[in-house]
């Protein structure tokens, strides 16, 4: 029983992994790619690892740790990459509608007095 | 097909080594040369793993009962690779530190311009 | 019987413990290498008579040889270890007051580890372990060459590192191939199996190995790192590099050719390579005005002579080569130490600026003179015996090609004589310009130089002190079945 | 010209490779000496991970050397990049405050740091049971410190303490080797009881050495990272 | 034991003198004289003994170092010791104003010790060892004065090294062929050797010994070295050190190879002896005529040393009783008079503040009479004027040439003598005769410590000139030891049956001739006494550089022979050195400084190994 | 069988990410590609563990996750000039 | 490394860290064998010594049942949002025309704690079409794949509010 559930969960995860990769492949600029990459691959990895934990119940706890680790770290790295892209001057897609960060030029300066 | 499968890993390792050597021979940027050296290291590590690999066998860790001694790959190259990797890291770190110093002194990373010592 | 593992364990432990001693007092650090190497010298001297009676094969970890890393302490090993620890000890004493550039604690650690690496290379019976110790030696040399952190030192270290890394990679490729073929890493075990393998395969492995070790051995055309590194390193390190480090490269090449592969066919080529190295080294040295670079090129020449002698491959030839290793190690260490302190006092590396130091630094100049004379091969110094033996060995093989070789080699020594005599004259017979305030050194600097001078003269006058050991060592290199027997005999 | 010559040379070497590799076919059983390890490893060393028993027991000397190599790199790097105290202060003053990491990274790193260290410890403690080991664990510990550097670039580890820890752990390795010499007459002998395979307290000296290596490697890599980050500016 | 004692005294003396010198200069001087004197005494005591000792085993080479004394070695040993003693005696005053005297004395003794070692060695290894010790200590002494001496020293040692390796090559080849290096064993073993091998040996040894003996074309180091060394050492250098080469020739040719084999070497005119004697002849011509061109007194003597060396070669190359005796005796004689002459130049330098330029000296005859006498007798010996020792030996050599039917060589030797006369007259005249320059008004005779050696040497010249039987007796002993028919001697010369020479007759002839010449000169109206300070000649003011009428004494001669007498060999060597230098410069360009290139070298090497194996199947 | 399909899909995903990493066009784009690849690989390793029935793959996967996270952060910090 | 500013209750912070680490260890080893527990305790204690000053600033103080309850409630809320987000992205990825309207908007937050801001930022990153680019004081700059409103207040309402109400309680 748990085998079937496990493989289903795993399958959903793999599908999301694939979608994430596809998004990274298709989307027009780095920020949009990150959007796709972060969300889909995080969930995808999470689900497939949990799925594996369900398939092999004795592994579950360890799988959980890996999955949670990914869940916690992936947004951080996505954020760091987005910020780095922005700071290193990667332009938004030219069809982007708004860039508050541009108005928010104190981004950098404000950081100084930020604790 | 199986021929290519047999040779693939050797081609990868030999190729990495040769690419690394090519970089060392031709590239003038110090950082690139250091990266070239790393290519060579990596190629050798793959070579070692290739040598230790036996088709259809598993890692030599008897962590559960079902694994028979006749069914594991050679543990020695893995141990060697572990050592080789650490040594590679050590050399890489030292190389970078020296490159930093060289850059501070010469204000360039181009080896054709760093020729204070010759003849 | 003292366990030879201590020869490696002791300096290693002392090197690791230098920061701990640093807690007690900042000043202790510089004495630690001296203590460690004193112990090593003691051990090796205790070992010599025992080993000459019966070579020792010491397992590390307690399993029997082919399944375990083991040390093979034969006459060759004990000879080289004695040389390494003795020269190391003297240089360590010298460094006590010579090394002033911070961080001295790290210098002494690296130095001791370099010596450990050299010791491991000559003792180990396992080819991959040889590689590991080789890397220990190389990496600590890279760091030490750059130790002064000046423009020259870092540039030299960088070039050395690039070439050395390529060399180590080749060694590792060779080892990988050998393991792939024989499934073992024990040198004796490999040696006992080589006949079963395809000769082309074997030669390709050998080619990688000797190219790799040849770089450290500074055989032409693999020696471009040497003049840079030797001339830019702190002089104590130049002494070690010239006196010890390149010898371990030669050891590596010799071990591969003689013991493992039994590659008789390549020996004449090796001798030719040695000759070429000799010629190029001496020619390049001739026009140098940088004293350390001159000494460095001279080291290339001398290593050429050593390799040439080893390529003769008779017991006398190998004996002569080993003798040359001793006499060159003593003389070149002495020269670098003496030159190092002169440079330190005068503040310039140019030979011209050393003019007139004979009066200002009589002992140092005297030491330098003795070193040069020995290198040129003048009696009654150690270099004479080795030069004589080399010529004797080359003529004794009665092959016309070697006659030609030895004539060329002798002509090269004329070039060598030319530039060394010039430097000596500079010291004594030329008016110095900026040497008025220069004074002779004392203490830790002068003691090792005096000891080296004495050993050069004593060995020159009474070579029998070491000939027995060297004969044994030559026998070990040429008698590979004996070597295999020591290691695998029991199993 | 140089390119052409290089390529010709590399082709020759490639031919050499082809000759050599063709004699050691991929995937075929070439195991010789290692059979001994595979068959007797667990019994002789108590470690179920044969790689580990090779790394720390049959070829423990290599590992000691390897640790030494890393130690040399750390020390050498420190020596090469050493800057006198006075100069260093000036450099610190010049540091740009806008280089701080974002709040998310800082906070995330603080939370992750101890967890990563524990991962590292887990990896090297279980070196004889899993593919992990001292080097891998040490690398993870160092990566934890690296994360902290990335989040808080201005902060430094206490070099003296870490140096002492390196030394001590190195000494422990050598010391255990020497104890083996004392107890069994061979350097680095596994003189402790081997325990029951597949439990944590087995394999004699192996876990102890791996713990020492873990600490040593962790501190060394951290020191290397520290030096590189600090001096490369 | 006795021989070992000699060497120990000699070497230890050198060492101790250096150490004592650090404490007291006086003690050092005394000790130096004492040490050299003891050596003289010890060597004298060994007269007519036959000793053979093995003093140091070298088991790893299956060899042991041995010493021996026989007539030949004693003959040279006593010469070495004697000249050594006298030159050290001379140094006491002469060297006072020099620095680094500890080094100087120690090295003087060291050189002597080295030479003693060479002549006392009974095997080639010992000979080579002492030879090398002698060479490098000589090099240090030549360079001692600094300045130009540095170049001279370097030239000497480099050429010397070339010689050494030739010798080393021959020695090692002997050892590999015969398993021994002892002279006595080799002498018998070589009798079965092929002529080709003997020729090879001889050529190697001739290069080795010939460079030391400065035979043409291996002579080019000598003029510089002699000129730039300090005078007492020039005396040693030219007097005996160079002649150790003759010792070597005699040893190898007659003591070891032997006449039988020598005569078999070569075909017709390409006979070994013949070629050798032509080398000697060329040396004579080149040496004496280039000497003519010299303005430097020591350089002039130096070139004569080359020329006189030619006479010795000429003498010994024939292997006849008379010839060998002539050659060896000439060696001794040359040693004495040339040492004397160098001491004379030293004395002149000492008083004139180091002036060696013949054009700036003059008129010292009254100021330095003893020195003048020394110079006069010295050049008489050099020319070979009867009643001086040089006459006897030259007479023997001429006689040999004539008896061996080589009139052309005899003619060459004669020309050499004419050249000698011309040049040494310039020497004597420009120093002692003619006008005394203003600046030398206060010059005095040299102190006694310097006079004494000159007086001794002068007396010996006369002694041997009048009583040549004393040394010839020893020389006939040497010949006996070679197994050659010995020269039979009487105290005044030798009896009729070999080649009559009786100094009494010659003395009588000379007295008659002398009286005759005196009469002619004193009665001649053309002769007038010119005041030594007379700066005017024929009433016109002479430019400063023509202060003396003898400035550029032989200008017309120069113009004729000068262009032909350039030392082309030296030019050739210089050309060779320059070419080598630029070649070396080219070689070291391979270290380009570009690390890519260095990596390329490495990979080239590897690729070479691989391609030779796979492609050509080598190894 | 199921797993084989999963592997196939994952390999395609990896290739897509790899193309992005190779194509760029900016440095952050490449890093994003690599980052996605890494995340996929972490999952892949766990699945391989299921496939080979060896728990040791979990450890590998965990180590890989940690190291790659720190690695990506390092590159990110390098890009925003925080290093 | 860094000495934390707040000097409150070191013991509590340490213990909290230790317990967290020990739990992690047990999860990692997935066993209750005594050797593992002892070893885990030792290493947790050791590492907590290094890391407690980073790990938590408050320790046990302020941990209440209510907060835990809210935290447990937060998890499904978050997961639901995440699943929605994924399907949203999936839709856009697969859609041949890629219906996107990206831009960077600004939102505000009232959260004070760093950890709270971190979780908010991460949650936003993982939920529909949004990606936290920067947090400056109480402003979050968000990359929005389909900008619905450029107004700060409105954007805050759409993007942040759904998490913030839980987080405000949890990190009071
Ligand atoms: Na990630
Ligand atoms: Na392991």
DSSP E409-459: HHHHHHHHHHHHHHHHHHHHHHHHSSPPPGGGTT--PPPHHHHHHHHHHHH
Query: Is C354 within 8 Å of C338 (Cβ atoms)?
Result: no
- Which residue range is the domain that position B73 belongs to? 2-55+68-117
What does the pLDDT read at residue D92?
Answer: 56
**Helix, coil or strand: residue D127:** coil
Residue E420 has pLDDT above 70, yes or no: yes
pLDDT tens-digit series, residues F11-51: 999 999 899 888 878 888 888 888 889 899 999 999 998 88
Q: CB-CB: which of G2, G55, G121 is closest to D111?
A: G55
D104: nearest CB among G54, G55, G135: G135
CB burial of B79-101 (b: ≥16 within 10 Å; e: otherwise) equals bbbbbbbbbbbbbbbbbbbbbbb
What value, to the nearest 5°, has the Cα angle with vertex E66 and ends E62 and E72? 140
- The string of pLDDT tens digits covering residues E68-96 is 888 888 888 888 898 888 888 888 877 88
Task: Calculate mean pLDDT across residues C462-490.
Answer: 89
ipTM of the complex: 0.91
Task: Provide, as residue numbers in chain A, all residues whose Cβ is less than 8 Å from the Cβ of D105.
Answer: 76, 79-80
Give domain limits for chain D. Answer: 2-87+96-232
HSE (CB half, 13 Å, CA atoms) of E459? 6
Q: Is B59 on the interface with F (CB under 8 A)?
A: yes
CA distance C382 to G111: 83
Dihedral sign for Cα C371, C375, C377, C381, please: positive
Mean pLDDT for the stretch of residues E146-170 = 88
Q: What does the block give as tokens for G108? A: 């505000």
Across C373-387, average pLDDT: 91
**What subunits touch chain F, counting only 3 or more CB pairs under 8 A?**
A, B, D
Tokens 């011509």 belong to residue: E285
Which residues of B fall within a CB distance of 8 Å from F54? 58-59, 61, 63-64
Nearest CB partner across the interface for A114, out of G30, G85, G136? G136
**Closest Cα in chain B to F53:** B64
G140 shares contact with chain D (CB less than 8 Å): no
**Sign, CA torsion E426/E430/E431/E433:** positive
Q: Where is pLDDT greater, at C189 or G168?
A: C189
Q: Is B48 on the interface with C (CB under 8 A)?
A: yes
Q: Which residues of D touch C17 (CB under 8 A)?
A: 167, 171
Q: Would an 8 Å CB–CB cutoff place A62 in contact with chain F?
A: yes
The C-alpha of C131 sits at a distance from chain D's nearest C-alpha, in angstroms, of 9
Residue C155 tokens read as 């540039």
Instruction: Return the pLDDT at B53.
Output: 85
Q: What is the domain partition of chain C in residue ranges?
A: 6-488
- Do chains B and E touch, with touching meaning 3 or more CB–CB pairs less than 8 Å apart? yes
Residue A33 Cα to ligand 1 middle (Å): 14
Alpha helices in D81-195 (DSSP H): 85-93, 103-125, 134-151, 159-184
Alpha carbons C173 and C167: distance in angstroms, whole number: 10
Q: Between chains, do B24 and E599 touch, taking CB under 8 Å as contact?
A: yes
Hey, are the CB atoms on F56 and B63 less than 8 Å from each other?
yes
Which region holds residue E327: left if phi is over 0, alpha if psi is between -120 and 50, else beta? alpha
Tell me, in angstroms, the distance from the centre of ligand 1 to residue A82's CA.
Answer: 13
Q: Are A52 and F50 within 8 A, CB to CB? A: yes
Q: CA–CA separation, E65 vs E123, rounded Å?
A: 7
Q: In this structure, what is the dihedral angle of CA atoms C141, C142, C146, C147, given to the nearest 10 degrees?
A: -40
* Distance of CA F23 from the midpoint of ligand 1 (Å): 20
Question: What is the count of structural domains for chain A?
Answer: 1
Count: domains in chain F: 1
Predicted local confidence at residue C36, as pLDDT: 94
DSSP C255: I
Question: Is residue C253's pLDDT more than 90?
Answer: yes
Residues with Cβ < 8 Å from F8, sequence gap 6 or more? none
Q: Say whether C147 and D168 touch across the interface (CB within 8 A).
A: no
**Contact criterion met (CB < 8 Å) for E145 and C391:** no
**Ligand 2 centroid distance, CA of B93 (Å):** 24
Q: What is the CATH number of the domain that holds F45?
A: 1.10.287
φ, ψ for residue E64, nearest 5 deg: -140, 150
Size of interface C-D (CB pairs under 8 A): 179
What CA–CA distances, in Å, run from A44 to A48, E265, G127?
6, 100, 14
Please report which confidence band the pLDDT of residue E561 belongs to, taking 50, 70 and 90 as the band edges. low
Q: Facing residues of C350 across strands?
A: C290
B98 interfacial to chain D (CB closer than 8 Å): yes
- For residue A112, the model assigns a pLDDT of 42
Query: What is the three-class DSSP state of E562?
Result: helix
Query: Could you say which of D80, D170, D189 has the minimum Cβ distance to residue C62?
Result: D189
pLDDT of E534 > 70? The answer is: no
Residue spans of alpha helices (H) in E179-257: 183-189, 195-213, 221-228, 231-236, 244-250
CB contact under 8 A, G85 and A39: yes
CA of A70 to the centre of ligand 1 (A): 6
C292 touches C238 (CB < 8 A)? yes
* pLDDT of E525: 52
Closest CA to C103 of D157, D81, D171: D81
Residues 137-176 of D with CB under 8 A from G: 148, 152, 155-157
* Closest CA–CA distance from residue G85 to any residue of chain A (Å): 7
CB of G43 within 8 Å of a chain D CB? The answer is: yes
Ranges of residues in chain D whose predicted pLDDT is under 70: 84-99, 232-233
Q: Which residue of E has its CA nearest to D16?
A: E610
Print the domain residue range for F31. 2-81
Instruction: Read off φ and ψ for residue E541, nearest 5 degrees.
Output: -70, 135
Beta-carbon pairs below 8 A across chains A and G: 144
* CA D135 / ligand 2 centre spacing (Å): 9
Pairing of strands E63-69, E51-58: antiparallel
pLDDT in tens, C258-300: 999 998 889 999 999 999 999 999 999 988 889 999 999 999 9
Distance CA E143, CA E151 (A): 8
pLDDT, tens digit (0-9, with 9 covering 90-100), for C14-50: 999 998 888 888 888 889 999 999 999 999 999 999 9
Cβ-contact E173, E205 below 8 angstroms: no
| SS3 of residue A8 by DSSP | helix
Residues near G149 by beta carbon (within 8 Å), at least 6 away in sequence: G105, G155, G158
Q: Nearest chain E Cα to D3, which residue?
A: E600
Question: 10 Å Cβ neighbour count for G41?
Answer: 14
Residues from chain A that touch G26, judged by Cβ atoms under 8 A, are 61
CATH number at residue B80: 1.10.287.3510
Contact B31, B99 (CB under 8 A): yes
Record the tokens describing residue G67, joined without a space: 């907060």
Q: What is the pLDDT averaged over residues C40-67?
A: 89
Q: What is the DSSP letter of A92?
A: P
Q: How confident is the model at residue E554 (pLDDT cuts 50, 70, 90)?
A: low
Which residue, among C145, C165, C294, would best test binding to B if mutated, counting the most B CBs under 10 Å from its CB? C165
Whether residues F59 and D123 touch (CB distance < 8 A) is answered with yes
For residue G20, the chain D residue with the least C-alpha distance is D115
Tokens of residue A7, six digits: 């493989």
Ligand 1 centre and the CA of A77: distance in Å? 6
Q: For position E1, what pLDDT does the model report? A: 72
Residue D230: other Cβ atoms inside 10 A = 18
Higher pLDDT: B13 or D100? It is B13
* DSSP per-residue string spanning G82-120: HHHHHHHHHHHHHSTT---B-EEEEEE----SHHHHHHH
What do you get for the CA distance between the two ends of chain E, in Å?
Answer: 55
Q: In percent, how much of chain C has pLDDT > 90?
A: 67
Interface size between B and D, measured as CB pairs under 8 A: 149
Q: Which run of H or of E encompasses G49?
A: helix G34-55
Of the partner residues A75, A82, A111, the one whose CB lies closest to the CB of residue G143: A82
- pLDDT, tens only, B23-80: 999 999 999 999 999 999 999 999 998 888 888 787 887 777 777 777 888 889 988 9
**Number of domains into which chain B is organized:** 1
pTM: 0.90
Please give the pLDDT value at position C207: 93
| CA–CA separation, C238 and C244 (whole Å) | 10
Q: Which residues fall within 8 angstroms of residue A59, CB to CB, at 6 or more apart?
A: A52, A53, F49, F55, F58, G30
């Amino acid at each position: 029983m748990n085998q079937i559930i496990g493989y289903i969960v795993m399958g959903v995860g793999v599908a999301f992994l694939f979608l994430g990769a596809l998004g990274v492949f298709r989307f027009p600029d780095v920020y949009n790619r990150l959007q796709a990459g972060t969300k889909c691959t995080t969930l995808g990895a999470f689900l497939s690892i949990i799925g594996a934990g369900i398939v092999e119940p004795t592994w579950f706890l360890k799988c959980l740790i890996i999955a949670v680790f990914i869940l916690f770290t992936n947004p951080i790295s996505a954020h760091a990459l987005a910020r780095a892209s922005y700071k290193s001057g990667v332009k938004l897609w030219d069809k982007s509608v708004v860039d508050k960060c541009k108005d928010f030029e104190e981004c950098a300066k404000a950081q100084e007095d930020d604790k | 097909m199986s021929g290519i499968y047999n040779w693939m890993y050797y081609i990868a390792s030999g190729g990495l080594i040769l690419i690394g050597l090519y970089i060392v021979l031709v590239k003038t940027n110090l950082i690139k040369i250091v990266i070239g050296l790393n290519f060579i290291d990596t190629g050798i590590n793959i070579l070692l793993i290739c040598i230790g690999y036996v088709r259809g066998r598993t890692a030599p860790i008897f962590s559960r009962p079902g694994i028979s001694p006749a069914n594991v790959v050679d543990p020695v190259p893995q141990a060697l690779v572990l050592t080789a990797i650490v040594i590679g890291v050590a050399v890489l770190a030292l190389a970078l530190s020296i490159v930093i110093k060289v850059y501070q002194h010469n204000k360039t990373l181009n080896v054709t311009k760093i020729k204070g010592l010759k003849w | 019987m003292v366990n030879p593992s201590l020869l490696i364990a002791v300096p290693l432990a002392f090197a690791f413990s230098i920061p701990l001693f640093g807690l007690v007092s900042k000043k202790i650090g510089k004495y630690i290498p001296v203590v460690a190497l004193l112990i090593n010298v003691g051990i090796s001297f205790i070992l010599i008579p025992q080993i000459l009676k019966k070579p020792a094969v010491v397992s590390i970890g307690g399993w029997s040889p082919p399944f375990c890393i083991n040390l093979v302490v034969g006459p060759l090993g004990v000879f080289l270890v004695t040389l390494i620890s003795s020269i190391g000890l003297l240089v360590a004493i010298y460094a006590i007051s010579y090394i002033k550039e911070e961080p001295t604690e790290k210098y002494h650690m690296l130095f001791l580890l370099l010596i450990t690496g050299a010791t491991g290379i000559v003792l180990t019976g396992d080819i991959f372990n040889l590689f590991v110790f080789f890397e220990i030696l190389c990496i600590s040399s890279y760091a030490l060459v750059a130790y002064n952190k000046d423009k020259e030192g870092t540039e030299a270290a960088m070039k050395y590192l690039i070439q050395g890394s390529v060399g180590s990679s080749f060694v590792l490729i060779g080892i990988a191939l050998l393991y792939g073929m024989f499934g073992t890493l024990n040198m004796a075990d490999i040696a006992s199996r080589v006949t079963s393998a395809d000769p082309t395969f074997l030669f390709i492995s050998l080619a990688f190995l000797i190219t790799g070790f040849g770089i450290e051995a500074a055989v032409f055309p693999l020696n471009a790192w040497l003049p840079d590194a030797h001339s830019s390193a702190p002089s104590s390190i130049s002494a070690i590099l010239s006196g010890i480090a390149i010898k371990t490269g030669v050891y590596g090449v010799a071990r591969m050719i003689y013991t493992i592969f039994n590659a008789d066919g390549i020996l004449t080529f090796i001798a030719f390579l040695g000759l070429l190295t000799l010629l190029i080294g001496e020619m390049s040295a001739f026009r140098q005005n940088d004293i350390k670079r001159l000494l460095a090129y001279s080291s290339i020449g001398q290593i050429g002579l050593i390799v040439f002698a080893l390529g003769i491959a008779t017991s006398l030839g190998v004996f002569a080569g080993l003798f040359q290793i001793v006499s060159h190690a003593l003389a070149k260490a002495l020269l670098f130490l003496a030159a190092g302190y002169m440079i330190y006092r005068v503040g310039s590396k140019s030979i011209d600026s050393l003019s007139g130091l004979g009066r200002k630094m009589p002992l140092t100049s005297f030491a330098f003179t003795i070193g040069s004379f020995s290198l040129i091969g003048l009696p009654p110094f150690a270099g004479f015996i080795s030069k004589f033996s080399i010529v004797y060995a080359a003529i004794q093989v009665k092959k016309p090609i070697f006659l030609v070789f030895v004539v060329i080699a002798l002509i090269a020594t004329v070039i060598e004589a030319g530039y060394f005599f010039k430097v000596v004259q500079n010291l004594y017979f030329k008016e110095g310009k900026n040497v008025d305030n220069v004074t002779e050194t004392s203490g830790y600097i002068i003691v090792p130089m005096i000891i080296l001078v004495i050993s050069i003269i004593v060995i020159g006058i009474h070579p029998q002190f070491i000939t027995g050991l060297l004969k044994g060592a030559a026998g070990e290199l040429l008698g590979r079945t004996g070597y295999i027997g020591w290691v695998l005999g029991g199993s | 010209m140089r390119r052409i010559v290089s390529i010709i040379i590399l082709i020759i070497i490639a031919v050499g490779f082809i000759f050599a590799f063709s004699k050691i076919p991929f995937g075929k059983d070439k195991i010789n000496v290692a059979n001994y390890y595979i068959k007797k490893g667990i019994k002789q060393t108590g470690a179920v991970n044969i790689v580990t028993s090779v790394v720390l027991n049959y070829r423990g000397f290599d590992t000691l050397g390897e640790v030494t190599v890393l130690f040399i790199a750390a020390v050498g790097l420190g020596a090469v990049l050493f800057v006198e105290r006075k100069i260093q202060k000036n450099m610190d003053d010049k540091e740009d405050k806008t280089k701080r990491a974002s709040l998310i990274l800082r906070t995330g790193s603080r939370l992750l740091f101890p967890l990563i260290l524990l991962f590292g410890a887990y990896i090297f403690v279980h070196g004889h049971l899993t593919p992990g080991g001292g080097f891998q664990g040490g690398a993870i510990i160092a990566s934890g410190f690296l994360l902290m550097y990335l989040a808080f670039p201005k902060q430094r580890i206490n070099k003296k303490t870490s140096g002492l820890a390196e030394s001590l752990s190195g000494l422990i390795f050598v010391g255990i080797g020497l104890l083996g010499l004392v107890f069994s007459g061979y350097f680095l002998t596994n003189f402790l009881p081997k325990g029951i395979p597949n439990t944590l307290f087995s394999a004699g000296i192996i876990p102890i050495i791996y713990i020492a290596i873990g600490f040593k490697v962790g501190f060394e890599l951290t020191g290397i990272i520290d030096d590189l980050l600090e001096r490369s500016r | 034991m006795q021989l070992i004692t000699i060497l120990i005294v000699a070497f230890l003396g050198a060492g101790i003198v250096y150490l004592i010198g650090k404490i007291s200069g006086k003690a050092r001087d005394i000790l130096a004289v004492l040490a050299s004197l003891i050596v003289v005494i010890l060597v004298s005591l060994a007269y007519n003994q036959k000793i053979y000792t093995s003093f140091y085993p070298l088991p790893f080479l299956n060899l042991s170092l041995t010493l021996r004394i026989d007539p030949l070695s004693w003959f040279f040993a006593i010469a070495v010791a004697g000249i050594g003693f006298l030159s050290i005696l001379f140094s006491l005053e002469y060297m006072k104003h020099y620095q680094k005297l500890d080094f100087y004395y120690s090295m003087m003794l060291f050189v002597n010790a080295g030479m003693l070692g060479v002549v006392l060695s009974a095997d080639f290894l010992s000979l080579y060892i002492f030879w090398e010790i002698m060479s490098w200590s000589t090099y240090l002494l030549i360079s001692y004065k600094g300045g130009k001496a540095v170049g001279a020293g370097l030239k000497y040692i480099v050429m010397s090294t070339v010689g050494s390796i030739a010798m080393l090559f021959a020695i090692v080849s002997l050892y590999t062929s015969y398993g021994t290096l002892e002279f006595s064993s080799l002498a018998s073993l070589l009798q079965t050797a092929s002529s080709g091998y003997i020729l090879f040996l001889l050529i190697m040894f001739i290069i080795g010994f010939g460079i030391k003996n400065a035979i043409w074309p291996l002579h080019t180091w000598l003029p510089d070295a002699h000129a730039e060394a300090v005078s007492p050492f020039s005396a040693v250098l030219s007097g005996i050190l160079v002649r150790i080469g003759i010792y070597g020739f005699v040893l190898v040719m007659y003591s070891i190879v032997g006449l039988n084999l020598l005569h078999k070497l070569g075909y017709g005119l390409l006979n070994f002896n013949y070629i050798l004697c032509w080398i000697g002849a060329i040396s004579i011509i080149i040496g004496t005529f280039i000497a003519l061109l010299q303005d430097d007194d020591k350089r002039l003597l130096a070139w004569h040393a080359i020329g006189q060396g030619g006479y010795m070669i000429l003498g010994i190359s024939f292997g006849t009783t008379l010839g060998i005796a002539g050659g060896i005796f000439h060696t001794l004689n040359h040693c004495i008079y040339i040492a004397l002459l160098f001491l004379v130049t030293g004395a002149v330098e000492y008083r004139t503040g180091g002036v060696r330029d013949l054009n700036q000296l003059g008129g010292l005859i009254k100021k330095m009479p003893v020195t003048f006498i020394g110079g006069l007798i010295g050049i008489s010996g050099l020319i070979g004027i009867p009643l001086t020792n040089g006459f006897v030996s030259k007479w023997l050599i001429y006689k040999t040439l004539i008896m061996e039917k080589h009139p052309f060589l005899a003619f060459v030797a004669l020309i050499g003598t004419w050249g000698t006369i011309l040049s040494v007259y310039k020497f004597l005249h420009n120093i002692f005769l003619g006008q005394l320059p203003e600046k030398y008004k206060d010059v005095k005779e040299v102190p006694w410590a310097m006079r004494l050696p000159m007086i001794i040497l002068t007396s010996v010249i006369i002694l041997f000139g009048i009583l040549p039987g004393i040394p010839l007796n020893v020389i006939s002993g040497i010949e006996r030891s070679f197994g050659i028919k010995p020269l039979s001697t009487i105290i005044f010369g030798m009896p009729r049956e070999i080649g009559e020479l009786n100094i009494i007759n010659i003395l009588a002839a000379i007295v008659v001739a002398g009286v005759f010449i005196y009469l002619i000169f004193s009665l001649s109206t053309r002769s007038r006494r010119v005041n030594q300070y007379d700066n005017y000649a024929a009433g016109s003011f002479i430019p400063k550089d023509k202060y003396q009428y003898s400035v550029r004494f032989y200008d017309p001669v120069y113009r004729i022979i000068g262009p032909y007498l350039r030392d082309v060999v030296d030019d050739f060597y210089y050309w060779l050195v320059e070419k080598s230098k630029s070649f070396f410069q080219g070689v070291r360009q391979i270290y380009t400084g570009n690390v890519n290139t260095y990596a390329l070298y490495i990979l080239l090497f590897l690729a070479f190994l691989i391609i030779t194996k796979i492609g050509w199947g080598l190894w | 069988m199921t797993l084989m399909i999963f592997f196939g899909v994952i390999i395609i995903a990896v290739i897509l990410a790899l193309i992005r990493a190779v194509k760029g066009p900016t440095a952050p784009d490449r890093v994003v590609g690599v980052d996605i690849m890494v995340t996929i690989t972490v999952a892949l390793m766990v699945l391989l563990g299921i496939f080979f029935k060896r728990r040791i793959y979990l450890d590998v996967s965990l180590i890989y996750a940690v190291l790659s996270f720190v690695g990506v952060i390092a590159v990110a910090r390098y890009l925003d000039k925080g290093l | 490394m860094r000495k934390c500013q707040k000097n409150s209750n070191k013991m509590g912070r340490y213990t909290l860290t230790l317990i967290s680490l020990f739990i992690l260890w047990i999860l990692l080893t997935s066993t209750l064998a005594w050797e593992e527990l002892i070893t885990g305790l030792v290493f947790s204690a050791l590492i907590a010594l290094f890391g407690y000053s980073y790990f938590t600033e408050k320790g046990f103080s302020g941990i209440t049942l209510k907060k835990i309850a809210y935290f447990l409630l937060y998890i499904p809320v978050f997961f639901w949002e995440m699943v929605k987000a994924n399907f949203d992205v999936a839709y856009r990825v697969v859609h041949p025309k890629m219906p996107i309207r990206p831009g960077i908007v600004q939102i505000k937050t009232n959260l004070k704690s760093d950890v709270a801001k971190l979780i908010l930022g991460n949650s936003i990153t993982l939920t529909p079409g949004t990606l936290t680019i920067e947090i400056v004081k109480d402003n979050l700059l968000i990359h929005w794949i389909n900008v619905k409103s450029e107004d700060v207040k409105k954007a805050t309402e759409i993007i942040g509010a759904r998490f913030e109400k839980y987080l405000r309680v949890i990190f009071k």
